[in-house]
Amino acid sequence: MQYKWWHERVFYQIYPRSFADSNNDGVGDIQGIIAKLPYLKSLGIGALWISPLYKSPNYDYGYDISDYYSIHEDFGTLEDFKLLMEKAQEADIKIVMDLVINHTSFKHPRFLQSIDPLSPFHDHYIWAQGKVDKKGRRLPPNNWDSMFTGPAWSYESKNDLWYLHLFTPEQPDLNYHNPAVLEEVKNIMRFWLDLGVAGFRCDVINFIYKSSLDDGQKAVYKTGKEHYLSQEGAHQILEELHRDVLEPYDAYTVGETSDVDLENAKTFTKGNELTMVFPFEHTSVDYRFNLAIFKRKYKPARMVASFKKWILNVDWNPLFLENHDIPRSLSRFGDESNPFVSATALASALLTLKGTPYLYQGQEIGMTNVDFKGIDEIKDVSSINIYEMLQKTYHLPKRLAWRFVNNFTRDHARTPMQWDDNVYAGFSEVKPWLRVNSNYKSINVKHQSESPHSILSHYQKLIALRKAHKVLALGEIKFLKENKNIFVFERSNQREKILVLINMDKRSHRVKTDMDGEVLYANYIDFKDHQKHLRPYEVQIIKK
């Protein structure tokens, strides 16, 4: 196997609105990111995935782009971006942009022009005639529903047509049956690659090609998906992008391929269409009916099994537990009452299993879910829509609707980064766009960087260990048979063998594996006295 930079580097996802606010307007920005590069460097980060920085009316906070060639004024200017590229290069940190090409904003000039059926841009979007029911009422062209509730179509009175939007009505889907759309995507990609970005995280990339606009099989969620999920057309588009853009620039891609199983995921990576794809099975293990609004008890064995399955079956995976769309991992898969050991156990898994680690801002200090009081504090459009839908369609009382929303709201992950214990957590000097988690006085970067026994210092140690022992990044992996709640595996190459034991459970478990050797890392100080069993969330990394 030929190793590339992304095999070894640790990624860090930045949600720019909430990372660091340099000009004190309550919203994070590019200068804020620049100011924190030394912090990221000292953590050991080698690449950043930055959530959308482009111009956007923010109905979905940047995932609704109105100009792909410019920077949102909240975040700065293209000059700021160029400076970021320069400073990141000096720090040897690669930058990966978010590429959102399933849809644009409804404020994108091409969408506005496309309303006119005679416009050359009309066919850049998916316009269709509606239906009429027996009573003469207007109905959408088909029965598909949007990811964020309601029909996937909106009516436009100016042309008496409907347009498709798999997300909010402010995010019209592009029409990939029109080759001109893909040509424009190539231009956008080249524009950012020419500025020096290393590649793209590709938003809902397996949704882009709609094979037909027929009615879908009725489902609780995603009715219509058999017509747009991972279609052959999407593969062809990715092959073309690879051939014409990615390959010539030697660019990296990671696909957000929503709703794919193992076999399906493999089809996106085998022919170099995408460098790798995010698996989502393991971050759904605590969902009931596979839906984020319904929680079920978290069982670590399910997490362990899912990681194993993907690692053993896919050549190379990104390894992650958090992003801007899902609640915090410490609150879900760890134990808030035992934060240090549980967060370091999760960290150890990400940094020693085989694959490319992706950390999400705040994860490295054990940021938790937020004590939101109610829907009034929420900014996430999917949460607000689902809150309303639960009341209107399912007649749930407000309190119950809120309980369901609080289970999954994306805002748990989107509150400002907790830098210190000043007011607004050192993120900004003014009231931020989304409120700060009230635990910022105890959970923050400043506090943790002063202690060698903090979650932050252990992230640092683990990343340093991964760099010092290349086998942890590049070696073979072999899972040993042990209790199903613990990871026990060996990483090996011709020179080295390292044994990793991670108890993912809040209970102790016995282990059979021989733990002799030099302990390279442990998250309990008195590890020597405790061979043959692992305490709650105990980790030992041993050189054999």
SS3 465: helix
Question: Is residue 322 within the footprint of ligand TEU (CB under 6 A)?
Answer: no
Catalytic residue among 21, 64, 256, 286: 256
Q: Which is nearer to ligand TEU, 159 or 331 (CB)?
A: 331
Instruction: Please state, in angstroms and rounded to a whole number, the distance separating the CA atoms of residues 402 and 193.
Output: 43
Question: Is residue 404 within the footprint of ligand TEU (CB under 6 A)?
Answer: no
Catalytic residue check, 250: no
Kindly identify the residues of this chain, within the stretch 444-503, that bind ligand TEU according to CB under 6 A.
Answer: none
Binding mask 344-383 vs ligand TEU (x if CB under 6 A, - otherwise)? Answer: --------------------------------------x-
Least distance CB 287 / ligand TEU (angstroms): 10
Least distance CB 409 / ligand TEU (angstroms): 9
Q: Tokens in use for 407?
A: 């289970």
Question: Is residue 204 within the footprint of ligand TEU (CB under 6 A)?
Answer: yes
Least distance CB 408 / ligand TEU (angstroms): 6
Question: Is residue 43 within the footprint of ligand TEU (CB under 6 A)?
Answer: no
Catalytic residue check, 203: yes
The footprint of ligand TEU on this chain (CB under 6 A) covers a number of residues equal to: 14
Do residues 40 and 12 lie in contact, with contact meaning Cβ atoms separated by under 8 Å? yes
Instruction: Please state, in angstroms and rounded to a whole number, the distance separating the CA atoms of residues 220 and 218.
Output: 7
Q: Which is nearer to ligand TEU, 173 or 482 (CB)?
A: 173
For ligand TEU, which residue has the nearest CB?
A: 63
Question: Is residue 325 within the footprint of ligand TEU (CB under 6 A)?
Answer: yes
Q: Which is nearer to ligand TEU, 33 or 147 (CB)?
A: 147
Do residues 494 and 474 lie in contact, with contact meaning Cβ atoms separated by under 8 Å? no
In the set 60, 80, 281, 482, which binds ligand TEU (CB under 6 A)? 60
User: How many CB atoms lie under 10 A from the CB of residue 160?
Assistant: 11
SS3 363: helix
Instruction: Please state, in angstroms and rounded to a whole number, the distance separating the CA atoms of residues 357 and 282.
Output: 14
Question: Is residue 104 within the footprint of ligand TEU (CB under 6 A)?
Answer: no
SS3 22: coil
Q: Which is nearer to ligand TEU, 55 or 410 (CB)?
A: 410
Q: Which is nearer to ligand TEU, 222 or 506 (CB)?
A: 222
Instruction: Please state, in angstroms and rounded to a whole number, the distance separating the CA atoms of residues 146 and 60.
Output: 14
| 533-534 vs 138-139, strand pairing mode | unpaired
Catalytic residue among 64, 80, 203, 322: 203
Output the 3-class SS for 113-137: HHCCCCCCCHHHECEECCEECCCCC
Do residues 493 and 476 lie in contact, with contact meaning Cβ atoms separated by under 8 Å? yes
Least distance CB 13 / ligand TEU (angstroms): 10
Least distance CB 103 / ligand TEU (angstroms): 7
Burial call 382-411: b when 16+ CB within 10 Å, e when fewer: bbbbbbeebeeeeebeeeebbebbbbbbbb
Kindly identify the residues of this chain, within the stretch 227-266, that bind ligand TEU according to CB under 6 A.
Answer: 256, 258
Q: Which is nearer to ligand TEU, 63 or 200 (CB)?
A: 63
Do residues 519 and 527 lie in contact, with contact meaning Cβ atoms separated by under 8 Å? yes
Kindly identify the residues of this chain, within the stretch 407-426, that bind ligand TEU according to CB under 6 A.
Answer: 410
In the set 21, 145, 203, 322, which binds ligand TEU (CB under 6 A)? 203
In the set 121, 167, 252, 372, which binds ligand TEU (CB under 6 A)? 167
Instruction: Please state, in angstroms and rounded to a whole number, the distance separating the CA atoms of residues 403 and 373.
Output: 10
Least distance CB 321 / ligand TEU (angstroms): 14
In the set 11, 49, 54, 63, which binds ligand TEU (CB under 6 A)? 63
State the first-to-last Cα distance of the chain, in angstroms, to the nearest integer. 25
SS3 440: helix
Q: Which is nearer to ligand TEU, 167 or 419 (CB)?
A: 167
CA distances from 111 to 90, 119, 425 (A): 39, 10, 40
Q: Among candidates 338, 351, 329, 303, which has minimal Cα distance to 524?
A: 338
Instruction: Please state, in angstroms and rounded to a whole number, the distance separating the CA atoms of residues 164 and 142.
Output: 10
Integer-rounded Cα radius of gyration of the chain = 23
Q: Which is nearer to ligand TEU, 63 or 521 (CB)?
A: 63
Do residues 377 and 488 lie in contact, with contact meaning Cβ atoms separated by under 8 Å? no
Residues serving a catalytic function are 203, 256
Binding-site ranges for ligand TEU (CB under 6 A) = 60, 63, 100, 147, 167, 203-204, 256, 258, 292, 324-325, 382, 410
